[in-house]
Amino acid sequence: MSGRYTATRTSLRTGGIMLLFTLAFTALMASTFQVTRPAIEASRQEAQMRLLAEVLPPGSYDNALLDDYVRFGPAPQIGMDAGGRVWRARKAGEPVALIIEGAASDGYAGRIGLVVAVHRDGRLSGVRVTEHKETPGLGDYIDPRKDRRKDAPWIAQFTGATWAEVDTAAWTVRKDGGSFDYRAGATISARAVTRAAGRSAAFAAQRMDALFAAPAGGLLGDTQ
C-alpha cells in the first residue's frame, strides 16, 4: 500500500511540474509574440511597400497606400478564385492609379501570382511577379530579380502599355500572334504572365470608378 501511495504521489508531483512548465512556456511564447509583433508587422508592411514601389513610383501619389485598399470577391477571370485586393493611389485626393492582385494558373510549373499597376487612363505603370515555381535559369526570367538582362528585364515591356489600345487577343506573346516579347526556350512562362497581366489590367480599368469609390477596407460587389 505504501509503495502504491508513494508511486501515486510521485506521478502527481511529476504531472504538476509538467503542467507548470507548460504554462510557463506558453506564457513566455505569448509574451515574446506580443513584444515582437510590432516589428514583424512593420517588416511585413515594409516588404509590401517595396513591392508596390516597383510598379508605381512613390512620388506619383501622396496617400497612405497600404491603408487605402479594397477587397474583391472571387474573380476567376483573373485567377483569383478566392478574391484579392486592390490598392488605390491618390494625389491631392484625386485618383491616380490602381494596383491589383492577379494570377496565372497556366505557368509551366503551376500558379504565378502578380501585381499590376494601372493608371487612371488605363496605361500600365508596371507588372511584377509575386510568386512562382518556374524553372530556375529558364522560365524564372519573369521575375526581374532573376532575369539576367538587368539592363532591360523582360517584364519591363509592360510599362506604358495601354489595355484599351492592345486588343484582348493581342495580350499574349508574339509567337502566338500577340504584341509582347518572350525569351526563346521558355515561352510558357512568358505567355502565362502576359495574358494574366492583360486580364488584370482590363479588370481594373473596367471597374476603375467603382474601385475608387468603394469604402477603404470594404468589399467590392459583383466581380463576375
What's the pLDDT at 32? 61
Same domain? For 77 and 45 the reply is no
**Last residue of one domain, picked from the residues 54, 70, 92:** 54
Tell me the per-residue pLDDT of 105-148, one tens digit each, with 9 for 90 and over: 999 899 999 999 999 999 999 999 999 999 888 899 999 999 99
Same domain? For 110 and 213 the reply is yes
Lowest mean pLDDT among 35-49, 74-88, 204-218: 35-49
**Last residue of one domain, picked from the residues 54, 71, 90:** 54
What's the pLDDT at 99? 97
What's the pLDDT at 107? 92
Same domain? For 184 and 84 the reply is yes
Same domain? For 7 and 101 the reply is no
What's the pLDDT at 165? 74
Rg from Cα positions in the chain: 25
This prediction has a pTM of 0.79
Same domain? For 125 and 49 the reply is no
Per the listing, cell 486592390 goes with 86
Same domain? For 40 and 103 the reply is no
Is 223 strand, coil or helix? coil
What's the pLDDT at 186? 87
Same domain? For 68 and 50 the reply is no
Same domain? For 2 and 78 the reply is no
- Give backbone dihedrals phi and psi of 84, rounded to 5 degrees, phi first: -170, -160
**Residue 202's pLDDT band (cuts 50, 70, 90):** very high
* pLDDT of 2 strictly over 60: no
Same domain? For 140 and 62 the reply is yes
Same domain? For 31 and 76 the reply is no
Tell me the per-residue pLDDT of 4-17, one tens digit each, with 9 for 90 and over: 556 666 666 776 67
* pLDDT of 219 strictly over 80: yes
Instruction: With beta carbons less than 8 A apart as the criterion, state whether 117 and 87 touch.
Output: no
The whole domain housing 107 covers 56-220
Instruction: With beta carbons less than 8 A apart as the criterion, state whether 218 and 71 touch.
Output: yes
What's the pLDDT at 137? 86
Same domain? For 72 and 91 the reply is yes
**Residue 184's pLDDT band (cuts 50, 70, 90):** confident
Same domain? For 69 and 26 the reply is no
The tally of domains found in the chain comes to 2
